[in-house]
Structure 1
Amino acid sequence: MLDDLLGRTERKEQIAALEAERDDLEAQLAAEGDRRAEAVRARQEAEERVNRLEDRIADLEGKVDADDGPVDRSFRHRETVRGRRLDAVLERLDSFEGDRESVLTAVVDEDVPVAVADLLGDRAALVDRAAPCVVCADDTGLLAVAMRPPITPEPGVKWSDGPAVDRSWFRPTGRYALALVRSDVFAVGVYEAGERVEFEGFTSDVKSDHSKGGFSQARFERLRDEQIADHVERCEAALADADADRLFVTGDSRLVGEFEADADETAAVDATGEPEPALADAHASFWSVRVWGV
């Protein structure tokens, strides 16, 4: 009541109103500052993108103005890597750093993505030859490589500041089974992080190729097909008992297709001989990676 008599209540209300108005203005100024900072960042990023596009346009214009002589469309480098050499290649790839959204990673199955064609120009034809593959390239031309991993990732395109490569596409992880299936040989190993912990293998009595013609040839081929079918059934039964999280089937290109429904990956490999050494060869071949310099 005393405040009312002395006029303090009204002044206090005025002070509170002014303080609230001041706080609102300070909040507006802070928000405006944030918007300006974001606008500056956006402008800088846009300018960087414009510069990259101008460089790309100049490069394409130079190609248009060039003479019509033969174009070199050979790979700069070819190599098959595995083990420590593969680890070194992946480490080198991981170490590459670029600007924001300056490095392209593309998983190419059949058709070459537009982004890859735009970035690599006429050298995109090399990617088509290497497919299916994973392509890593940057907008300066310093990096341009295609690799064919044992594990096929989903097709797609990603721009980032470095190669977006998952090592599990290239190197064995976890517990898995890898089998070798040929017309008369079968072997399967269960592996943990690349080390074999279980093995099973056998051979089947399958007639070799027959050179006689006529009825005897047709009868021979029918008998051989029946023997191979029995062999495949034995292989399927053995694989059903494999205690593993994933299954990879390798071997004769004419037979691995029989296992596509159950296998995580299949691959044709040239591994011959007795079951155990042949499986070792198949395992090494499956985890080998083809590398091309584009």
Structure 2
Amino acid sequence: MVEKDRVLNNINYIFKKYSGKEELETEIYRLQSHILELELDVKTASIRHEKSAASEKKAIAAKQEAEESLKSIEVKLLTLEHELEKQRTDAPGEFSFTHVDQFSKQRTEEFISSISSVNYSTESLLTVYVAAGEQLNNIKDHENLIERIDNESLVLIEKISSSTGFVLFYSPDHMVNELIIPPLPLKRSYWNTGNYFDTTPFVESLNEDASMCVLVAHAGESFVGLSLDLIEFDSFQVIKSSVKAKHAKGGFSQRRFERLRDEDIAHHIDKVKESLKGLLEEFGDSIDYLILAGDSQLAREITMDVPLNIEQVFSSSDIRIEKNNVSDILKQILIYRRYRL
């Protein structure tokens, strides 16, 4: 716990150094102290007003002056607090990935083959597997793990958003700092060090024998498909409906238009649900994953009352349904994302 606090303190130091956070916090503390003084002045002026009717005008003037100063300081304080919050939000942006890429399965196999050939004389190569839904601090003995990774890399790892987990290949000399996000969920978290990177679990996941049902949801045009081998779709359907575009004007006409548009979308949802249920009823026992892509909110509404005991995975791939691109949908679903720290 002490080591973890030390790492977090180091990260906070970096944020303060590059964002001016420390100066902002000092100024906010000073203003807060000033506000307390002004509030005391207001209270004192109110007491004077109550005690002496003769000095009423003077007391009122003093109270008004104190209240105006207080209001001015509060506005300035709010501005600085907003700026500080923005600095806190933007601070991780000071560090950026040196490279971001998307790999097909074949390209990933070639990449992992290259990674597995790296050999160090000392057991300093770090391999980390983080399962779906977990983070670095969920891993066993994570305190020792975190102290092996530099602060900048830790900040970058925190920026990664993945519903399927990730794999980190890390060398302390930064010759290899690669983070890979697989399209399908990783099942187990663990880490180790050695002369080689531990790529065996990754290769096993590449060759996983699985089947999936795919839902790509868009208002007016959605896709439902089934692949039993992750190579091609064995069954699929493109569901199209007439859905009005968004209204640009205001007033009653817009409200009526949006109501009609909502009715169109609801009708489209019902059609997609019917298609999805048909696939699940026929192949449900043989489906390992339900992949959701496209409009995430629409996908959630479509699957809301569908009885599912299948693991759901939200894909981050920006998939558009176009004529004759059905084979590309599966390729985009199975994309591996690669980040170089």
Coarse TM-score class (shorter-chain normalised): 0.5 to 0.7
Shift of 1:82: 0.9
Picking from 138, 150, 163, the partner of 2:198 is 163
Q: Is the 8 A contact 1:210 1:220 kept in 2?
A: yes
| Match status 1:283 vs 2:333 | no
Moved more, 90-99 or 130-139: 90-99
Are 1:128 and 2:165 an aligned pair? no
For the residue of structure 1 that corresponds to 2:219, the secondary structure is: coil
- Give the direction of change, closer, same or farther, for the CA distance of 1:255–1:116 in structure 2 (3 Å limit): farther
- Equivalent position of 1:292 in the other structure: 339
* Aligned-partner SS, 1:229: helix
Q: What is the match of residue 255 of structure 2?
A: 218
Other-structure match for 2:240: 203
| 1:202-230 deviation digits (Å, cap 9, x = unpaired) | 20111111122112211221221222122
Matched, 1:144 2:167: no
Determine if contact 1:187/1:276 at 8 Å carries over to the other structure: no
- Kindly indicate whether the alpha-carbon contact (under 8 Å) linking 1:170 and 1:287 is maintained by their aligned counterparts in 2: no
The corresponding residue for 1:105 is 128
More strand by share: 1
Aligned residue identity for 1:197:
D
2:105 is aligned with 1:83: yes
Q: Distance in 2 between matches of 1:235 and 1:190?
A: 14
TM-score, normalization by structure 1: 0.64
2:265 aligned partner: 228
| Structure of higher CA gyration radius | 1
Structure 1 stretch displaced more, 190-199 or 266-275: 266-275
Q: Which moved more, 1:206-215 or 1:268-277?
A: 268-277
Tell me, which stretches of 5 or more residues in structure 1 are unaligned?
A: 1-63
Say whether the 8 Å CA contact 2:125–2:172 is kept in structure 1. yes
What's the % identity of the aligned pairs?
A: 21
Distance 1:141 1:274 in 2: 42
TM-score, normalised on structure 2? 0.56
Contact 2:239 2:272 in 1 (8 A): no
Higher helix share: 2
How has the CA–CA distance of structure 1 residues 115 and 290 changed in structure 2, closer, same or farther, with 3 Å as cutoff? farther
Distance between the aligned counterparts of 1:106 and 1:176, measured in 2? 23
SS at match of 1:187: strand
**Aligned counterparts, 1:164-179, within 5 A:** 165-167=201-203, 169=205, 173-179=209-215
Amino acid at match of 1:77: H
| Structure 2 equivalent of residue 266 of structure 1 | 314
CA distances 1:38-94 after superposition (whole Å, capped 9, x unpaired): xxxxxxxxxxxxxxxxxxxxxxxxxx9xxx899984333322111321221122334
Partners in 2 of 1:186 and 1:160 — Cα distance? 45
Quick one: distance in 2 between partners of 1:197 and 1:251? 21
Deviation digits for residues 177-216 of structure 1 (CA, Å, limit 9, x no counterpart)? 2222111112222222322222222201111111221122
| Contact residue 252 and residue 270 of structure 1 kept, 8 A | no
SS at match of 1:230: helix
Structure 1 residues 81 and 155, CA gap change in structure 2 (3 angstroms): same
Q: How has the CA–CA distance of structure 1 residues 125 and 69 changed in structure 2, closer, same or farther, with 3 Å as cutoff?
A: closer
- Supply the distance in 2 between the matched residues of 1:168 and 1:223 (Cα, whole angstroms): 50
Query: Does the Cα contact within 8 Å between 1:248 and 1:264 map onto a contact in 2?
Result: yes
Is the Cα contact below 8 Å between 1:110 and 1:131 reproduced in 2?
Answer: no
**Which stretch shifts more, 243-252 or 107-116?**
107-116
- Give the direction of change, closer, same or farther, for the CA distance of 1:272–1:76 in structure 2 (3 Å limit): closer
Q: Are the aligned partners of 2:293 and 2:319 in contact in 1 as well (CA < 8 Å)? A: no
Instruction: Provide the C-alpha distance between the structure 1 equivalents of 2:320 and 2:18, rounded to a whole number of angstroms.
Output: 46
SS at match of 2:115: helix
Shift of 1:251: 1.2
Q: CA RMSD in A?
A: 3.4
Instruction: Return the alpha-carbon distance in structure 1 between the equivalents of residues 147 and 331 of structure 2.
Output: 36
Q: Out of 90, 96, 106, which is 1:74 matched to?
A: 96
- Displacement of 1:265: 0.8
Unpaired segments of 5 or more residues in structure 2? 1-12, 20-91, 138-142
